[in-house]
Amino acid sequence: MNEQRKEILQMLAEGKITTEEADQLIAALERDQPVPVASGSDVRPKGKPKYLRVMVDANDDGIPSRVNVRVPLQLLRAGVRLAALIPAQALGEANAELTRSGLPFDLTQLKPEQLEALVEHLDDMTVEVDQPDTKVRVFCE
């Protein structure tokens, strides 16, 4: 909260101005401040992200469904650091099992600096899915 807004609220609390006057003063302050540019309908504060969020809005056969998952990035960072401690043979077995499951992913290539680069560049990504009534968003907040 900025200093001018605090002063207005303090004057209101002390009874020096009415609620209508406080509302007018705050509205005048907001007009004078630049409006943040938003991509889409929601505004997220910029700064060091703490969470990876995956949101899915779907409408299957007229039945709306929604998924909203928020994963702490610290958990992902810890997982990447722990993966570095896994013996090479175990990583090979894990990679083989991932491939058999239809997810060809090489855990030996997962490095902490790559995760940080991903987090840095993953601001707001929208993915269109095969179904027209489904929207998937992945972003950091």
Q: Please tell me the pTM assigned to this model.
A: 0.47
> How far is 32 from 16, CA to CA, in rounded Å?
23
- The answer as to whether 40 is a domain residue is no
Please state the rounded mean pLDDT for residues 28-50: 58
**Nearest-angstrom CA–CA distance, 90 and 75:** 21
Is the residue at 101 inside a domain? yes
29 and 50 belong to one structural domain: no
When divided into structural domains, the chain yields a total of 2
Give all strands of the β-sheet with 124-128 in edge-to-edge order: 63-72, 51-60, 135-140, 124-128
30 and 73 assigned to the same domain? no
64 in the same domain as 132:
yes
Position 38 confidence tier, pLDDT thresholds 50, 70, 90: very low
Same-domain status, 10 and 78: no
Q: Are 54 and 29 in a shared domain?
A: no
Domain of residue 9: give its range: 1-35
| Mean pLDDT along residues 33-51 | 56
